[in-house]
Amino acid sequence: MMKKKISLFLTALLFMGGINNAYAQYEDTENYDDDDEYEIVVTDKDGEEEIIELPEAMIEDVDSLLTLYHTKAYIQQDPDCNSTSESPEFDDDTYIERLSKLPTVMEMPYNEVVRKMIDRYVNRGRRQVSYMLGLANFYMPIFEEALESYGLPLELKYLPVIESALNPKAVSRVGATGLWQFMLNTGKRYGLQVNSLVDERCDPLRASYAAAQYMRDLYKIFGDWNLVIAAYNCGPENVNKAIHRSGGSRDYWEIYPYLPSETRGYVPAFIAANYVMNYYCEHGICPMVTDLSVKSDTVLVSRNLHFEQIANVCNVDIDMLRELNPQYRRDIVNGNTEPSLVRMPIETINAFIDNEDSVYNYRADELFSKRNTVDVPEVQTPARTYTRSSNSYSRQSSRHSARGNGMSSRHRQSAKSKHRKSRSKRAASQNVTIKKGETLSSIAKKHGTTVEKLKKMNKLKGSTIQTGKKLKVK
């Protein structure tokens, strides 16, 4: 199934994406504090405030994506679409009605958490939504074919919206990679090759089929699509723990309080993504339009090949080759290891076939500098010298290393051991002073941990912290 062929039109859609810099209409119109960047706050039925972490893709810096080759070359602003600087306000009944009209198998219920996620997209995330609507023209057909091949609900095509913001090169703070944000072990378990030269988690086609297979397997375990995408986020083990802690319920909204903080916002974010990708017009958001004039296809190579060889001999932009082949991490196609596919524009493929020998020979010795064999040099034995204090002899270098600092070997080892123990104790515990305006969420992100771990280390029952107090972060 992973080898299922996709039409040339769809592959052209997949790989010819981008966006220009005409974004003045989407500049932020509100001031946000730092806490708003990473979390939302909702009030539960008892009137208590609850902090929910946002999925990483929802706080993605869109500006960093605009430097990519395809974003500069193939997407542009729609001159016929008039966007607004702010989203209109709608009441709860309007959101409920719109969600109910989505043609989905999965339920799309509405509540305060879902509303907060929608508000995030249509207000602060307007620029990101416009970008993702442009990229959807390239990636959604691929997602749909992969999901359809495994009989999965097609609304799951919006899962990469909250996973990666449709960025095939996205890498999370814990190392999840690609459009579908596969962790290393999970990716390899579903057939994605990862080594020093190749990372197929960044391959939109292969990763989409691997993700569909993974979600099919999760559905066999849980039998509920909301639990499937919750497990996709935090792992099936954490979902099973939440099920047991809730008394055995298999309803996402029943096990909600027992899930990790980010996962509590994950299903609401998925619902919000389905909403905004369908009702963006109602919120005055213009999608970017795509230029599909350049088409691409693949060629199979059985020898090592460098992108510079193709670029220089076939006269093609090397940045385009990198965008078309994001799985190759160092511009090297390791055809010697196994036959490998390289995607190129159609006209470049013709030039490659006509000049194949010239391509492979171009600067080959320089670009592939790894040696297959090396000679072992002759070792020069140091001269041996006799000491005056005894009839025995020792190497000059050994005498200096043993006595050069005036300390015996035993004393030196003892000092090193004490230094290591002292350094270990310092690394084992680390406290910070809480500054004005900081929250558990912002402190956790700054120090590479989670809110739950901070609360456990500091024996905190709630999320309230006091300025000036010490907080253990490690």
Full 3-state SS string of 275-298: HHCCCCHHHCCCCCEECCCCCEEE
Per the DSSP assignment, residues forming a β-bridge with 75 are 290
Per the DSSP assignment, residues forming a β-bridge with 76 are 289
Dihedral sign for Cα 145, 147, 152, 155, please: negative
Answer yes or no: are the C-beta atoms of 166 and 139 closer than 8 Å: yes
Answer yes or no: are the C-beta atoms of 211 and 146 closer than 8 Å: yes
> Cα–Cα distance between 435 and 468 in angstroms, integer?
6
> Cα–Cα distance between 350 and 379 in angstroms, integer?
53
Exactly one of 163, 200, 262, 323 is catalytic; which is it?
Answer: 163
Please say if 163 is a catalytic residue.
Answer: yes
Dihedral sign for Cα 209, 215, 218, 224, please: negative
> Cα–Cα distance between 78 and 62 in angstroms, integer?
18
> Cα–Cα distance between 363 and 312 in angstroms, integer?
10
Dihedral sign for Cα 31, 440, 245, 217, please: positive
Cα radius of gyration (the chain): 28
Buried (b) or exposed (e) across 418-445, using 16+ Cβ within 10 A?
eeeeeeeeeeeeeeeebeeebbbbbbbb
> Cα–Cα distance between 140 and 137 in angstroms, integer?
6
Per the DSSP assignment, residues forming a β-bridge with 42 are 50
Answer yes or no: are the C-beta atoms of 135 and 17 closer than 8 Å: yes
Active site residues: 163
